[in-house]
Structure 1
Amino acid sequence: MTGTVLEPGTKVRFEQRIWTVVMLEGACARLIDANDSVATVLVNFLFAAPGFEVVGAPRRGVAPFGLLEELPEQVRERAQAWERHVREVETGVPVPGQARVPRAGFDPARHTMAEREAAKAAELTAAGQPTSAVTVRRMRARYREHGLWGLVDGRAVRRRSPVGRADERVVAAIVQALEAQRERSTGTLSRLRRVVGWILEDAHGVGVVKVPPVTTFNRLVHALADGQGLLGTAAQRRRHSSRPAPPFTPTVVLRPGEMVMLDSTPLDVMVVLADGVTGSAELTIALDVATRSVCAAVLRPVGTRSVDAAIMLAQMVTPLGMRPGWEAALAMSCSVIPYERLVSLDSRLRGAAARPVIMPETVVVDQGSVFVSASFVAACESLGVSVQPAPPANGPAKGHVERMFRTIGDRFSQYVAGYTGSDVTQRGTDVEDEACWTLPQLQDLLDEWLVADWQHRPHASLRHPLAPKLALSPNEMWAALVGVTGYVPVSLSADDYIELLPVKRLGINDYGIRFDYRTYDHEVLNPHRRHRSAAGDGMWEVHHNPYAPQQIWVRLPGGWQEVPWIHRERVSLPFTDFTWRHIRAGVERRGERDEHERQLAHALDRLLRRADNGEGSRRERTVAARAGAAAALAPAMPSQEPPGLLTAPTLSYGLVGVFTPTSLDEADDEEFEDGWEEDGEPLGGPDDAADGCPEHERPAAAVPVRSRPSRIYDAVREAAQW
Structure 2
Amino acid sequence: MTAGGGSVLRPGDWVSFDADDHQVVGLAGTAVRLRSAGGAESVVLASYLMAAPDFAVTGVEPLPEMEPVGLLETLPEPARTAAVKWQRHVVEVETGLPPGAEPGTTPRSEYDPVARSVVERAQAKADELGVSLRTVMDKRSRYARQGLWGLVDQRLVRVREATGRADARVVAAVRQVLEDQTQVSTGTRSRVIRRAVKLVEATHGEGVVPLPSRNTFYRLIDALSSGRHSFGSAVTRRQTANRPQGPFTPTFADRPGEQVQIDSTPLDVMVVLDSGVTARADLTIAVDVATRTICAAVLRPVGTKAVDASLLLARMLVPEPMRPGWSASLAMASSRLPHRQLLNVDARMDQAAAKPVIVPDTVVIDGGKVFISDTFVRACERLGISVQRARPRTPTDKGVVEATFSAINTLFCQHLAGYTGRDVTRRGDRIEQAAVWTIPELQELLEKWLLAGWQARPHDALRDPFRPGKAVSPNDKYASLVAAAGYLPLVLRGEDYLELLPVAWRAINDYGIRIGHRTYDAPELGPWRRQHSGHAAKRGLWEVHYDPYDLSRVFVRTSGGWITAPWVHLPLVNGPFADFTWDHARRLAAAAGLDDSNEAAVARVLEALLTRAEHGPDTRSARVLARTRAAAALPGPTAASDIAPSSNPAPDSAAAASPSAEVVPFGVFDPHAEAERWL
TM-score normalised by the chain length of structure 2: 0.80
The residue number in structure 1 matching 2:108 is: 103
Give the whole-Å Cα distance in 2 for the aligned partners of 1:385 and 1:49.
43
Q: In the TM superposition, what is the alpha-carbon distance from 1:445 to its structure 2 partner?
A: 1.9
- The secondary structure found in structure 2 opposite 1:203 is helix
Q: In the TM superposition, what is the alpha-carbon distance from 1:650 to its structure 2 partner?
A: 7.3
Give the whole-Å Cα distance in 1 for the aligned partners of 2:359 and 2:50.
57
The residue number in structure 1 matching 2:376 is: 376
The residue number in structure 1 matching 2:669 is: none
The residue number in structure 1 matching 2:453 is: 453
- The secondary structure found in structure 2 opposite 1:262 is strand
Between stretches 369-378 and 305-314, larger displacement belongs to: 369-378
Return the letter of the residue paired with 1:556. Answer: T
Residue 124 (str. 1) matches residue 123 (str. 2): no
Alpha-carbon contact 1:22-1:30 (below 8 Å) kept: yes
Alpha-carbon contact 2:587-2:596 (below 8 Å) kept: no
Return the letter of the residue paired with 2:373. Answer: S
Return the letter of the residue paired with 2:223. Answer: A
The residue number in structure 2 matching 1:533 is: 534
Alpha-carbon contact 1:2-1:61 (below 8 Å) kept: no
Alpha-carbon contact 1:508-1:525 (below 8 Å) kept: no
Q: In the TM superposition, what is the alpha-carbon distance from 1:301 to its structure 2 partner?
A: 0.9
Give the whole-Å Cα distance in 2 for the aligned partners of 1:575 and 1:9.
89
Alpha-carbon contact 1:85-1:94 (below 8 Å) kept: yes
The residue number in structure 1 matching 2:677 is: none
Give the whole-Å Cα distance in 2 for the aligned partners of 1:276 and 1:115.
101
Give the whole-Å Cα distance in 2 for the aligned partners of 1:9 and 1:421.
72
Give the whole-Å Cα distance in 2 for the aligned partners of 1:455 and 1:331.
12
Give the whole-Å Cα distance in 1 for the aligned partners of 2:159 and 2:185.
35
Residue 612 (str. 1) matches residue 615 (str. 2): no
How do 1:57-68 residues align onto structure 2 when only pairs under 5 Å count? Answer: 59-67=62-70
- The secondary structure found in structure 2 opposite 1:350 is helix
Give the whole-Å Cα distance in 1 for the aligned partners of 2:270 and 2:12.
88
Give the whole-Å Cα distance in 1 for the aligned partners of 2:241 and 2:249.
19
**Structure 1, unaligned runs of 5 or more:** 33-37, 126-130, 652-702, 707-722
Give the whole-Å Cα distance in 2 for the aligned partners of 1:257 and 1:570.
46
Give the whole-Å Cα distance in 2 for the aligned partners of 1:599 and 1:576.
18
CA shift digits 1:344-395 (9 cap, x unpaired): 4433233333333333333333332222322223222333333333333333
User: Against the structure 1 CA distance between its residues 304 and 132, is the aligned structure 2 distance closer, same or farther, given a 3 Å change threshold?
Assistant: same
Return the letter of the residue paired with 1:605. Answer: R
Alignment length, in residue pairs?
636
Alpha-carbon contact 2:143-2:150 (below 8 Å) kept: yes
The residue number in structure 2 matching 1:622 is: 623
Q: In the TM superposition, what is the alpha-carbon distance from 1:74 to its structure 2 partner?
A: 4.4
Between stretches 519-528 and 370-379, larger displacement belongs to: 519-528
How do 1:393-408 residues align onto structure 2 when only pairs under 5 Å count? Answer: 393-408=393-408
The residue number in structure 1 matching 2:273 is: 273
Return the letter of the residue paired with 1:290. Answer: A
Give the whole-Å Cα distance in 1 for the aligned partners of 2:620 and 2:7.
88
How do 1:212-611 residues align onto structure 2 when only pairs under 5 Å count? Answer: 212-464=212-464, 470-505=470-505, 513-522=513-522, 524=525, 526-527=527-528, 529=530, 531=532, 533-534=534-535, 536-538=537-539, 540-584=542-586, 598-610=597-609
Alpha-carbon contact 2:439-2:630 (below 8 Å) kept: yes
Percent identical among aligned pairs is 45
Give the whole-Å Cα distance in 1 for the aligned partners of 2:166 and 2:191.
20
User: Against the structure 1 CA distance between its residues 462 and 141, is the aligned structure 2 distance closer, same or farther, given a 3 Å change threshold?
Assistant: closer
Alpha-carbon contact 1:196-1:211 (below 8 Å) kept: no
User: Against the structure 1 CA distance between its residues 344 and 71, is the aligned structure 2 distance closer, same or farther, given a 3 Å change threshold?
Assistant: closer
Alpha-carbon contact 2:589-2:601 (below 8 Å) kept: no
Between stretches 175-184 and 289-298, larger displacement belongs to: 289-298
How do 1:635-674 residues align onto structure 2 when only pairs under 5 Å count? Answer: 635=636, 637=641, 639-643=643-647, 646-648=648-650
Q: In the TM superposition, what is the alpha-carbon distance from 1:102 to its structure 2 partner?
A: 4.9
Give the whole-Å Cα distance in 2 for the aligned partners of 1:353 and 1:253.
24
Q: In the TM superposition, what is the alpha-carbon distance from 1:122 to its structure 2 partner?
A: 0.9
Give the whole-Å Cα distance in 1 for the aligned partners of 2:516 and 2:104.
101
Return the letter of the residue paired with 2:601. Answer: H
Between stretches 73-82 and 574-583, larger displacement belongs to: 73-82
Give the whole-Å Cα distance in 1 for the aligned partners of 2:311 and 2:293.
18
CA shift digits 1:163-206 (9 cap, x unpaired): 22223332222112111222211111121121122223323444
User: Against the structure 1 CA distance between its residues 359 and 558, is the aligned structure 2 distance closer, same or farther, given a 3 Å change threshold?
Assistant: same
Q: In the TM superposition, what is the alpha-carbon distance from 1:304 to its structure 2 partner?
A: 1.5
Give the whole-Å Cα distance in 2 for the aligned partners of 1:286 and 1:12.
57
User: Against the structure 1 CA distance between its residues 109 and 633, is the aligned structure 2 distance closer, same or farther, given a 3 Å change threshold?
Assistant: closer
How do 1:187-198 residues align onto structure 2 when only pairs under 5 Å count? Answer: 187-198=187-198
Give the whole-Å Cα distance in 1 for the aligned partners of 2:325 and 2:472.
28
The residue number in structure 2 matching 1:82 is: 86
Give the whole-Å Cα distance in 1 for the aligned partners of 2:264 and 2:395.
12
Return the letter of the residue paired with 2:236. Answer: Q
CA shift digits 1:628-687 (9 cap, x unpaired): 3322336475554345xx422579xxxxxxxxxxxxxxxxxxxxxxxxxxxxxxxxxxxx
Q: In the TM superposition, what is the alpha-carbon distance from 1:577 to its structure 2 partner?
A: 1.3
Q: In the TM superposition, what is the alpha-carbon distance from 1:29 to its structure 2 partner?
A: 5.5
Return the letter of the residue paired with 2:426. Answer: Q
Return the letter of the residue paired with 2:140. Answer: R
CA shift digits 1:269-323 (9 cap, x unpaired): 2223223233221112223333333322211112211211121122123333333
- The secondary structure found in structure 2 opposite 1:457 is coil
How do 1:40-55 residues align onto structure 2 when only pairs under 5 Å count? Answer: none
Give the whole-Å Cα distance in 1 for the aligned partners of 2:98 and 2:323.
88
Q: In the TM superposition, what is the alpha-carbon distance from 1:580 to its structure 2 partner?
A: 2.6
Give the whole-Å Cα distance in 2 for the aligned partners of 1:65 and 1:99.
33
CA shift digits 1:205-233 (9 cap, x unpaired): 44454654443322211111111454423
The residue number in structure 1 matching 2:164 is: 164
Alpha-carbon contact 2:188-2:231 (below 8 Å) kept: no
Alpha-carbon contact 2:6-2:62 (below 8 Å) kept: yes
- The secondary structure found in structure 2 opposite 1:501 is coil
User: Against the structure 1 CA distance between its residues 532 and 47, is the aligned structure 2 distance closer, same or farther, given a 3 Å change threshold?
Assistant: closer
CA shift digits 1:540-578 (9 cap, x unpaired): 433221112233323322232333445545544422111
Alpha-carbon contact 1:649-1:705 (below 8 Å) kept: no
Alpha-carbon contact 1:494-1:638 (below 8 Å) kept: yes
Give the whole-Å Cα distance in 2 for the aligned partners of 1:531 and 1:87.
101
Give the whole-Å Cα distance in 1 for the aligned partners of 2:12 and 2:332.
82
CA shift digits 1:407-449 (9 cap, x unpaired): 3323332333333333333334433333333221221222222
CA shift digits 1:313-334 (9 cap, x unpaired): 2212333333333333333333
Give the whole-Å Cα distance in 2 for the aligned partners of 1:296 and 1:193.
51
Alpha-carbon contact 1:510-1:530 (below 8 Å) kept: no
Give the whole-Å Cα distance in 2 for the aligned partners of 1:120 and 1:29.
48
Alpha-carbon contact 1:71-1:156 (below 8 Å) kept: no
Return the letter of the residue paired with 1:163. Answer: T
The residue number in structure 1 matching 2:30 is: none
Return the letter of the residue paired with 1:103. Answer: R
Give the whole-Å Cα distance in 1 for the aligned partners of 2:292 and 2:12.
68
Task: Provide the alpha-carbon RMSD of the alignment.
Answer: 4.2
User: Against the structure 1 CA distance between its residues 362 and 48, is the aligned structure 2 distance closer, same or farther, given a 3 Å change threshold?
Assistant: closer
Give the whole-Å Cα distance in 2 for the aligned partners of 1:626 and 1:28.
81
User: Against the structure 1 CA distance between its residues 113 and 641, is the aligned structure 2 distance closer, same or farther, given a 3 Å change threshold?
Assistant: closer
